[in-house]
Structure 1
């Protein structure tokens, strides 16, 4: 229980790598495998398809993460 409290309000970004390879699980499929739908609605999470080889999706994922964190930092001021 203590660990959950320490993670309260944290952002979770999951990169679904290898999207450039045929047969790779899609981001929504990975969400189902990880059972992320059952997380509380107040938890901030996103799964982004990417390819570390080509770089596709990486900026999109980091942009979401920075925006998510920034939106909550300014709320605390």
Structure 2
């Protein structure tokens, strides 16, 4: 296992942490997962159901579940939250239409999908790392614009969250996000 995020793990002090990677289709969930695993950009295909990888980082082994975002599978996401220690929610910062959705009736709206995730009982106390992907593209929204549009302060009130700008094409920002999540999950008892 090579890559920037794979490291030798001391088995006596290793903690396993289940992390679920969610977001709408095409946001970059799978690309981020394989940046963690390989340390470089990997050609990916749309996820059919889920991808699972174990990623060693520091004294934590992340059990990463990258879950498909089709409407059918989204109804099953709550099963993946069970026992999750952290959530990574990936947002395509160039997809202005689905971010700025004005009504909650749109079932392909980032805000609606995020509302379902954060309101679920199984995920209430779980920290959320938001990746604002495609920051290397022209006309992308900043993390501040995304947070304001999605009302993340209000949606995530009472829980730890962090929004990291990144690019799955270059890898910029991906490590910084994992560093934040690692710090959050270090404190949790094994």
TM-score category (smaller protein):
0.7 to 0.9
Specify the alignment match of 1:51 in structure 2.
167
Unaligned runs of 5+ in 1: none
Specify the alignment match of 1:9 in structure 2.
125
Unaligned runs of 5+ in 2: 1-118
Deviations 1:42-71 (A, max 9, x none): 301111000000000000001101111112
Deviations 1:3-39 (A, max 9, x none): 6332122011111011111210111111112211113
Give the whole-Å Cα distance in 1 for the aligned partners of 2:186 and 2:147. 24
Q: Look at both structures and tell me which one has the larger radius of gyration over its CA atoms.
A: 2
Specify the alignment match of 1:23 in structure 2.
139
Q: Would you say how many aligned residue pairs link Structure 1 and Structure 2?
A: 71
RMSD over aligned CA atoms reads 1.6
Q: Select the structure that is richer in strand.
A: 2
Q: Select the structure that is richer in helix.
A: 1
Where do residues 59-70 of structure 1 align in structure 2 (5 Å cutoff)?
A: 59-70=175-186
Give TM-score, length-normalised by structure 2: 0.35
2:120 is paired with a residue of what secondary structure?
helix
List 4+ stretches of structure 1 deviating above 4 A. none
Give TM-score, length-normalised by structure 1: 0.80
